[in-house]
Amino acid sequence: MSATRFTKDHEWVRQEGEFAVIGITDYAQSQLGDVVYVELPEIGRKVAKGKEAAVVESAKAASEVDAPVSGEVVAVNDTIVGDPAKVNADAMGDGWFLKLRLADPKELDALMDKAAYDAFVAEQE
């Protein structure tokens, strides 16, 4: 398993072999507040890097979850559809959104590592 990478839109992606697990960061869920609704893509859907892959809504706002990498959806976390609060409780773990079969693993190289992301978030505050 390789390290988790991050986008400037506060999505995370963790490579697991030929697959990528995707979710929103802890910072993102804290900014959203209580998550009340999650919409996930259909299995088999192809998503492109930077394009909408899912939707998350809180009492404050609705946000698109953009795909940090391109690929085909092979799994979705139905648990968070039934219990959206799991996103708040464990955004980087059990609150994951979807799993993709990576179209191009090299796309991961363009994303931030944890240190770069932490510095980026510090600039936002």
Closest CA to 11 of 55, 88, 65, 70: 65
Q: What is the pTM of this model?
A: 0.95
Q: Which pLDDT score is estimated for 67?
A: 97
Sequence-ordered list of residues with C-beta below 8 angstroms from that of 89, at least 6 positions apart, any chain: 95
Closest CA to 64 of 113, 10, 120, 104: 10
Q: Which pLDDT score is estimated for 15?
A: 95
Residue 125, pLDDT > 90, answer no
Can you say whether the dihedral through the CA atoms of 111, 45, 78, 19 is positive or negative?
negative
Domain borders along the chain are 4-124
CA–CA distance, 16 with 85 (Å, rounded to integer)? 25
Q: Which pLDDT score is estimated for 2?
A: 57
Assigned CATH topology for domain 4-124: OB fold (Dihydrolipoamide Acetyltransferase, E2P) (2.40.50)
